[in-house]
Amino acid sequence: MDLAAVQTMRVARSRADLALAPGETYLAGGTWLYSERQPDVTGLVDLSGLGWDELELTSEGDLRIGSMTTIATLEAWGTSSPAPAAALFEQCAQSLLASFKVRTAASVGGNIAKGFAAGAMIALGATLDATAVVWKPDGTDLRVPVTALPTGNGTTCLGDGEVLRQVEIPAYALAARTAHRRIALAEHGRSGALLTGRRDEDGTSVLVITAATSVPVVLRYEGVPSVATVRADALAAPGYYTDPLGSADWRRSVSATLLAEVAQELA
């Protein structure tokens, strides 16, 4: 879709270039930005000139993901990496309502920064204890858990002029076993519920509900919980919502069932 109100476009090449003028917004992959009318956007600041597409394993085994890394690149890393949690990268990438062509353009940072409930990169980050590194307009950096970025379905805690620089996944999470379930009312529809989990080497477990709730629900256990415990915790979780893609009651019910399956697989 053409952005008819846009009058200027510039490429950011330094941190100073990230200062937004009135009417400007950041352009990452652009797959959402160009998907609907943006009548208030009169200028674009292209982030592609900043080189934020790195995908790096540190000497400590942590994974650093530049926010402009495409979802397809991250998916490919997941298929080739020997890390036990690598399968979750491909599973979450394919949980998006996006063809392989879209995934080659859509950015990891953009999917997280939009804060949509069905943002599968948010599910990935929440499950693997990822940290978002945010650049603030005053020149300082802010580190915040990815799970804490969304404040609602399509809203985040990012302020004006704040930009997601990179996402960091710790080594212990990459070494964990993971499991994944997804359901949608339509065969090729947006996720109505996305359930993920991991089991660390010390036996502790993390179970996550996204897409069904307006913000991620993260449940932590000292071991692998029983089916009854998982079902009860999922049914009691806050934030289930109703929209044309599913009712809150349906989302609550399927989340309880599928999250119990995730726990059983991890066990």
State residue 98's pLDDT score: 65
**Rounded Cα gap, residues 30 and 97, in angstroms:** 15
8-state DSSP, 185 = S
Mean pLDDT by 10 residues, the chain (267 residues): 85 92 89 84 90 94 96 94 96 83 86 94 98 95 97 94 96 98 87 97 97 98 96 98 95 98 97
The pTM of this model reads: 0.94
**Amino acid 125: pLDDT:** 98
CATH number of 176-266: 3.30.390.50
Contacts of 22 (CB under 8 A, 6+ apart): 42
Q: Using CA atoms, how far apart are residues 131 and 134, in angstroms rounded to an integer?
A: 10
Cα angle 172-90-259, degrees, rounded to a multiple of 5: 70
* Fold observed for domain 55-172: 3.30.465
Beta bridge partners of 177: 199
Query: Whole-angstrom Cα distance, residue 78 to residue 89?
Result: 5
- Rg (the chain; Cα; Å): 18
Give the type of residue at 237.
A
Q: What is the pLDDT of residue 96?
A: 85
Using DSSP's 3-state secondary structure scheme, residue 133 falls into: strand
Domain boundaries in the chain?
A: 8-50, 55-172, 176-266
- Within 10 A of 167 (CB to CB), how many other CB atoms are there? 24
Which pLDDT belongs to residue 31?
78
